[in-house]
């Protein structure tokens, strides 16, 4: 009877483990998709503004030259946001992989979360990613502001 109970416990642990892994992967996928879509839109907006500013500068309207810099900064900030999101996701995934195996062995709930050090890195990168997105949006706004005079 104890063997059967042990086998049932093993199956329950495997089922719980598979469920947790699926949830973590699904949340990571949603987060990555949202971030990529936002930053892709910022790249397209700033790229369109850059194309318009280049056309206006080429048509001898030098007052739009400053807009070029804003749009370039906006594109760069969006790419930095994408990169920081990738680094954040990599840190989270690696930490989950390490904790996942420890949880499967010990069933201690402490292994379901991220360590304080990892959590600080992830939170810092998330804040940096949001700041990069806001910076890109602000750069687009400042670059496009000059177009209102047309």
Angstrom distance (rounded) from CA 122 to CA 126? 6
Domains and CATH numbers, the chain: 2-149 (1.20.120)
pLDDT reported for residue 1? 45
Angstrom distance (rounded) from CA 73 to CA 15? 48
The answer to whether 65 touches 57, Cβ cutoff 8 Å, is: yes
pLDDT band at 137 (very low <50, low <70, confident <90, very high): very high
| pTM of the model as a whole | 0.73
Angstrom distance (rounded) from CA 63 to CA 66? 7
Of 86 and 135, the one with more pLDDT? 135
17-73 residue pLDDT tens: 677 667 766 766 767 777 788 899 999 999 999 998 899 888 888 788 889 999 999
124-135 residue pLDDT tens: 998 999 999 999
Of 114 and 72, the one with more pLDDT? 72
The answer to whether 51 touches 15, Cβ cutoff 8 Å, is: no
**Phi/psi at 61 (nearest 5 deg)?**
-115, 80
Statement: residue 7 has pLDDT above 70: no
């Amino acid at each position: 009877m104890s063997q059967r109970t042990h086998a049932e416990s093993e199956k329950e642990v495997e089922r719980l483990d598979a469920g947790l892994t699926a949830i973590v992967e699904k949340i990571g996928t949603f987060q990555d998709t949202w971030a990529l879509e936002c930053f892709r839109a910022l790249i397209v907006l700033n790229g369109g503004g850059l194309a318009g500013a280049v056309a206006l500068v080429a048509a001898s309207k030098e007052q739009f030259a400053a807009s070029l810099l804003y749009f370039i900064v906006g594109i760069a900030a969006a790419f930095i946001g994408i990169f920081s999101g990738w680094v954040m996701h990599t840190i989270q995934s690696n930490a989950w992989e390490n904790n996942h195996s420890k949880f499967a062995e010990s069933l201690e709930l402490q292994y379901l979360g991220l360590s304080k050090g990892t959590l600080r890195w992830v939170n810092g990168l998330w804040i940096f990613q949001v700041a990069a997105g806001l910076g890109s949006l602000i750069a687009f706004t400042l670059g496009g502001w000059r177009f209102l005079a047309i």
